[in-house]
Amino acid sequence: MLPTAGLRIDQAPPLNLPFRFFGTAPLFLLLAGGALLGWGGELLLAPLLPVTVATLHLILLGWMVMVVCGAMIQMIPVLAGIPVPWPVLVPWVHGLLTVGVVALFGGLVQDPVMPWALLVALVALALALSGFLVPIVVALVKAPARHPTVNGMRLAMLCLLGTLLLGVLFLGEHAFGFLDVDRRLLVGIHLLWGLVGTMGVLILGVSFQMLPMFYMTPAFPERAAIRILLGLAVSLLLVPAALLVAGVDDAWLPLAAAAPGIAALVWYGIEIRKQLQQRKRKFIDATLRLWLFGFACAVSALLLLVCWFFTEGPTWRFLVGILYALGWVTPVMIGMLHKIIPFLVWFHRFSSLAGLVEIPMMDDLSPLRVVNAQVWLLFGTVATLLLAVLTGWDPLVRLGGVGLMLVGAISLYALWFALRITPPKAPEMPDFASFFKEPIH
């Protein structure tokens, strides 16, 4: 039995709302893998090359933010105890986000950059993320739940708002060339709020609930969770301030400002290690392997991040980016989707039929062998791309692209696998009222 005490599963939204995002996100992994296959080593020449930025945003916006949108629409009613208002906006958010990412990629990969495509991306992404953030923020402000997971969601959404505003500024500058500030400084803040503030904080916050629910670990200590989020929030405010004061060439002040967040992440790692060691279900399945691999990559990225402050050249930046985006965030997201999707399909389609007819178990809604293959494929893809950065060998980049395409394809297959089983027809119940229509003699 799942430890769902305190969860409002009855308030879960219809399947079509989150699943439209879950079904589209892997397509952008496929497209990102295709970009790696097509451009190869050219993408590693410099982090801010237009084609490199375009490919990166296929992963960050098309894959990660797309999953975040679907997950937040699904999780807030369940974890925070309040429905997300104005669900009529969800199809518009999904459509505009898809158009925005495609336009951004198409506009940046052209030589020269296509201003009209970037303008389309600017408008579409601004409308999409505004249409997503406004109802989400309203729900989180009104939420009766005060669990640290909800506070983590609030902090993550604030960071997403800051990331959006800076992204809109960058797109306008790319299209019209009006930005007259230190571009590297704003890019640093943009990455900090997007990767650490949005993705990192959201994963940590959700893990407070997800790991006990699906892996039978003890409850995460609430005081520790609050202090971990507080340490991250402090650094998310102090690091941009330090960059504005000292600039990107002075590493010591931003590194000192990052100390509370780094300490919070170390504390989180220690607590999570304890939780996983004490879990009641000792079996290590594919999704737990993804979490463990993600934690290992997160630690590696954190160690290499210090080198980022004191080294020149793109190598460290690419290594940190691959470890963080593809080594940590992506495995954890895939692991969560492989748990959430079968659970939601079972709950919406089959739970009401339990005890009436034969219905599948949740494990029957997941292609376990294919998921196991995806785990090792993702591990190999990350290792291949890290080796490609260290060696600069073009075929390794292209091989990593093929691996990423296969990872995306398997995620699509897993979604289809869960949805392909139609619920059986419920047996007709006797009409007890008819027994009393005939007079009794």
Residue 203 included in any domain: yes
Nearest Cα to Cα of residue 425 among 369, 361, 356: 356
Q: How confident is the model at residue 432 (pLDDT cuts 50, 70, 90)?
A: low
Whether the per-residue pLDDT at 426 is higher than 70: the answer is no
Answer yes or no: are the C-beta atoms of 304 and 320 closer than 8 Å: yes
Can you read off the two tokens belonging to residue 302?
């954190």
Vertex 264 angle, CA 260 and 269, to 5°: 150
Q: Is residue 287 assigned to a domain?
A: no
In 3D space, the residue among 57, 325, 104 whose CA is nearest the CA of residue 199 turns out to be: 325
Q: What mean pLDDT is predicted for residues 191-216?
A: 92
Q: Domain for residue 59, yes or no? A: no
The rounded distance, in Å, linking the Cα atoms of 139 and 372 is 36
pLDDT at 441 > cutoff 60: no
Nearest to 233 by CA among 255, 264, 187: 264
Instruction: Say what the pTM is.
Output: 0.92
What distance in Å separates the CA atoms of residue 207 and residue 385, rounded to the nearest whole number?
27
The pLDDT score that the predictor gives to residue 430 is: 57
113 touches 43 (CB < 8 A): no
**Beta strand ranges found along 122-237 (DSSP E):** none
CA distance 28 to 94: 13
Does residue 265 sit within a domain? Answer: yes
CA–CA separation, 27 and 309 (whole Å): 34
Pull the structure tokens for residue 228.
Answer: 């971990």
Round to whole Å and give the CA distance between 325 and 42: 19
In whole angstroms, what is the distance from residue 323 CA to residue 331 CA? 11
Helix (H, G, I), strand (E, B) or coil at 86: coil
Q: What is the pLDDT of residue 2?
A: 39
Angstrom distance (rounded) from CA 50 to CA 53: 5
How far out from the chain centre does Cα 257 lie? 26
pLDDT band with cut points at 50, 70 and 90 for residue 33: very high
Token digits for 330? 């992506």
Q: What angle do CA 431, 432, 438 make, to 5 degrees?
A: 100
Distance, in Å, from the CA atom of 409 to the CA atom of 415, rounded to the nearest integer, reads 10
Alpha-carbon gap, residue 295 to 328, rounded angstroms: 6
Using CA atoms, how far apart are residues 340 and 12, in angstroms rounded to an integer? 12
Domain around 259: 183-279
CA distance 22 to 151: 24
Residue 320 forms part of a structural domain: no
Q: Residue 3: enclosing H or E segment and its boundaries?
A: none
Binned at pLDDT 50, 70 and 90, residue 241 comes out as very high
Domain count, the chain: 1
pLDDT tens digits for 44-54? 988 889 999 99
Flag whether 139 is in a domain: no
Q: Which of 13-27, 68-82, 130-144, 413-427 has the lowest mean pLDDT?
A: 413-427
Note the pLDDT tens digit of each residue in 61-100. 999 999 999 999 998 988 888 889 999 999 999 999 999 9
Question: How far is 136 from 84, CA to CA, in rounded Å?
Answer: 6
Q: Of residues 56 and 354, which shows the higher confidence score?
A: 56
User: Which phi and psi angles does 236 have, rounded to 5°?
Assistant: -65, -20
154 domain residue, yes or no: no
Integer Cα distance of 126 and 122 in angstroms:
6
pLDDT tens digits, one per residue of 204-231: 999 998 899 888 899 999 999 999 999 9
Confirm if 395 and 334 have CB atoms less than 8 A apart.
Answer: no
Residue-level pLDDT at 350: 84
Residue 147 lies in a domain: no
